[in-house]
Amino acid sequence: MSLFTRNALIALVLAGTIIGTVIYAVTYLNNARIAELGAIEDQLSIETLSLDTQFSLLEAAPCDSATSSATLTGELSDLGDRLAYAEGQLGKDNEQVVRLKKQYSLLEIRDYLITKKLAAACGTKPVTVLYFYSNTGDCADCDRAGYALSYLHTTYPNLRVYSFDYTLDLGALKTLIAVAKVNGPLPAFVVNGKHSYGFTSLEDLEKQFPKGALATSTTAMR
Amino acid sequence: MIALIMAWGSDVYLYPFLFIALYFESFFLVTFLSKPARMRRTDTPAPLAEDAPPVAIVVPCWNEETTVAGTVESLLALEYPQEKLAIILVNDGSTDGTRAAMDRFSGHPQITIIHKENGGKFTAMNIGIEQARDARFIGFLDADSFVAPDSLREIVASFDGPDTAAVTASMSIHEPHTIFQRMQYAEYSLAITLRHVFASVNGLYVTPGPFSFYRRSIFAELGVFRHAHLAEDMEMAMRIQRAGLTIGNAIRARVYTKGPPSLRTLLKQRVRWTTGFLRNVCFDYRDLIGNRKNQVLGFFILPFAIAAMGGGIFLFFYSIVKFTERSLHTLSLLQTVPLSYMFSWHPFSWFYLPITGVALLGVVSMTSALVWMTVGKRLSKTPGTLAPNVVLFFLLYGIIAPIWLIRSVSDVVRGTHTAWR
C-alpha cells in the first residue's frame, strides 16, 4: 500500500471519528435539553395538579387560600421559550419535540382554566391572551406576533399569554379552538374572549387589550 | 439575547463542505506525522562542504527602484562561498529608477547586471538562465523580497537526490503594516506548513518566485520559462511534475516578501495567481488531474484545490443570502419590538448555548488552521507576532478570498487577461 493510500484511509477514519464525536456531542446536548424540558414539564404538571387540587379542596372559600395568588405563567413562559429553541434546533417534526409540545399545551390549557375559575370565584379580572400560531410556513406574521407577545409578557408580568400551535394534533387543543371559536386566519388572538386575526404592529395588538389592562408590574402593585 | 439567538437558526447545508475540509485537514495531519515529513523537519543540514556547488541567483526587476537594493544586499549577505555564488540582476525595461539602483552594484565581482527591453518576467528569468552557465543550481528572487543569511545553505542541502528538480523556501510577509498585510502574514504562516507537508509527498504544484531553486539541467531537459498565463512559476512546477520529477521544500530557508498593502493590489495579485492556476490546471496541464504517477497531486491536492475554489464561491453566496435573509428577519423583529428587548440580557443558561454540528466542526477547522499557522511559524523560525494577525485572517479572509475567486473564474470563462500590475 502506498503512503498516499495509507494516509488517505487513515484520514478518512480520522475525519469519520471527528464527525462521529461531533454528532455524539450534539445529540448528547440535545437529549440533555429534551430531558430538562421533560423535567420542567413534570414539575409544572405536579404544581398544576396541586393548584387544581387545592382549588377543589377549598372550593367554598378559594379566595382565602394561597391559590388565588399562585401563578405558573412565569414558569410556563420560560418553558415555552426553551421549547421553541429546542424546536428550532431539532425541527418541528421531531417526535420528542411534538410530545413535549402536546404536554406543554395541556399545561397551558389547565392553567388557563384554573385562572378562569379563580377569576370567577374571586371576582378578579386577569387579562388572558390565547395566541394561536402555525410554523408550517403558512403564517408569515406568526414569528413577529410571537415576539410581540413575549415582549408584552415581559413588560407586563400580570398578562397571561397562552401560545398554541394551531396545527398540533391534540384533542384538548382542538376542543379549545372549537370552544374559543377560532376560525380566522393566523395568527389569531383571543384577548379576554375578544377575537382578532392577523398581526400588523405591536401598537395595533395593544389596542386589542382592555383599557388599563396593560399595567406594568410596578403600577399593578399599587 | 435569547430572543436574538432564537432568531438566528442553524445551517445544515454546510455539512458537505465541512466534511471535505475536515478530510483534507485529517489527511494533512496524517501526512505531517508520517516519516517523510518528520525526517525533513528534523534533519539538520550537513555543514557546507568545501566543494559547495556553484549557484546562481537571478533577480528579475521591473520598476523596483525602492526595493531592489535591499534584495541584492540580502543576497550578498548569504552564508555561502563568494566564488560559488553568482548574482544576476535583470532589468526588464523598467521605467523608473531601477536602472540606477541596480547600477550601484556594477563592478561587484559576484554581480552581473543586464538591462533589456521589457518582455515580461519570464523573459528576464530566461536571460538569467542563459547567463548562469556555470551554475549547478539556479534560484530566482523577486526584487521585492529578501532572504535570511542561512537560507541558501538550507536550500542546497535540500537537493537530496537526482530526482529533486526544484526546491522551494518558506515565505513570510516582512513587517506587515496594513490589515491586508497582517492577514497575509497569517496566511503565509499556514502556507509554510502546507508546503512542507505536501513537499514530503511530492505534492507541490507551484515553485514561488521568491527564492525557488532549480537544478540547471532541467532547463535543458524540460525547457525554459514560458509566459504561462502570467504564472510561470506554477507552469514550471507543473512541467516538473508532469515529467515525474520531484519538488522539495527547505522549511528553514526563510525568504521575506512585501505583501500587497491594499485591497486593490492584493486582489490584482490574487486574480493573477488564481487565473494562472485555473488556466494551467484546467487546460494546459489537465492531465495532471487523476494522474496515477503522482496520486497525491492527481487525486487529492489538485482536485481539492479546485473544489475549495468552488466551495469558497458557493459559501460566499450562500452566506450572503443567509445573512441578508436573517438580517431582514431581525430587522422586521426590531421593527416589532423595542431594540432594548431584543438585546436584553437574560441569566446564563447552558440550554441556549448555540452548539450545533456546524459550529463545532467550524471550531475544529479554525483550531486546525491556527495550529498549522503556529507550526509553520515555529518550524521555519519566522520572526514576528502571529496572534493579532490570525484574528484579522479569520475576520477578513472569508470575505476577501471569494472576491478574487469569483473574479478569476469570471476572467477565465470570459477569456479576459489581466496585466502584471
Q: Which of B27, B295, B357 minimises the CB distance to A11?
A: B27
pLDDT of B59 = 97
Q: Which of B336, B352, B360 minimises the CB distance to A148?
A: B336
pLDDT tens figures, A184-195: 788 999 988 888
- Please state, for a pLDDT cut of 70, what percent of chain B lies above it: 94
The strands making up B246-257's β-sheet, listed across from edge to edge, are B111-116, B85-92, B55-61, B137-140, B212-215, B164-173, B246-257, B145-147
Long-range contacts: B298-303, Cβ < 8 Å, 24+?
B299/A4, B300/A4, B300/A8, B300/B27, B300/B203, B301/B198, B301/B203, B301/B205, B302/B205
Best residue of B6, B246, B297, B325 to probe chain A, by most A CBs closer than 10 Å: B6
Minimal CA–CA distance to B182: which of B419, B373, B3? B373
**A112 to chain B nearest CA, in Å?**
25
Beta bridge partners of A165: A133
**A147 to chain B nearest CA, in Å?**
7
Answer yes or no: is pLDDT of A98 > 90.
no
**A174 to chain B nearest CA, in Å?**
28
Please state, rounded to an integer, the average pLDDT across all residues of chain A: 81
Residues of A with CB under 8 A from a CB of B: 2-5, 7-8, 10-12, 14-15, 18-19, 22-23, 25-26, 29, 33, 36, 81-82, 84-85, 88-89, 143-144, 147-148, 150-151, 154-155, 201-202
| Cα B60 to Cα B68: distance, rounded to the nearest angstrom | 10
Best residue of B8, B29, B351 to probe chain A, by most A CBs closer than 10 Å: B351
Answer yes or no: is pLDDT of B402 > 90.
yes
**A107 to chain B nearest CA, in Å?**
21
The grid coordinates listed for A187 are 395568527
| Cα A175 to Cα A168: distance, rounded to the nearest angstrom | 12
**B395 to chain A nearest CA, in Å?**
24
Answer yes or no: is pLDDT of B263 > 90.
yes
Answer yes or no: is pLDDT of B133 > 70.
yes
Q: Which of A3, A12, A148 minimises the CB distance to B201?
A: A3
Q: Which of B332, B337, B360 minimises the CB distance to A151?
A: B337
Residue position matching grid coordinates 406594568: A216
pLDDT tens figures, B350-365: 877 878 888 888 899 9
Cβ–Cβ gap A7/B364 under 8 Å: no
- Rounded to 5 degrees, φ, ψ at B139 are -115, 165
Cβ–Cβ gap B355/A23 under 8 Å: no
Q: Which element (helix H / strand E) includes B172?
A: strand B164-173
Cβ–Cβ gap A15/B22 under 8 Å: yes
Contacting residues for B111 by C-beta, under 8 A, at least 6 apart: B72, B86, B87, B88, B89, B105
B331 touches A at CB < 8 Å: no
| Cα B403 to Cα A180: distance, rounded to the nearest angstrom | 56
B355 touches A at CB < 8 Å: yes
Answer yes or no: is pLDDT of A43 > 90.
no
pLDDT tens figures, B61-101: 999 999 999 999 999 999 999 999 999 999 999 999 999 99
Cβ–Cβ gap A26/B23 under 8 Å: no
ipTM: 0.83
- Rounded to 5 degrees, φ, ψ at B328 are -65, -40
Mean pLDDT of A64-78: 59
As to burial, measured by CB atoms within 10 angstroms (0-12 exposed, 13-18 middle, 19+ buried), residue B166 is buried
Which band of pLDDT confidence, cut at 50, 70 and 90, is reported for residue B6? very low
B334 touches A at CB < 8 Å: no
Cβ–Cβ gap A11/B10 under 8 Å: no
Answer yes or no: is pLDDT of A157 > 80.
no
Cβ–Cβ gap A11/B333 under 8 Å: no
pLDDT of A60 = 63
pLDDT of A208 = 79
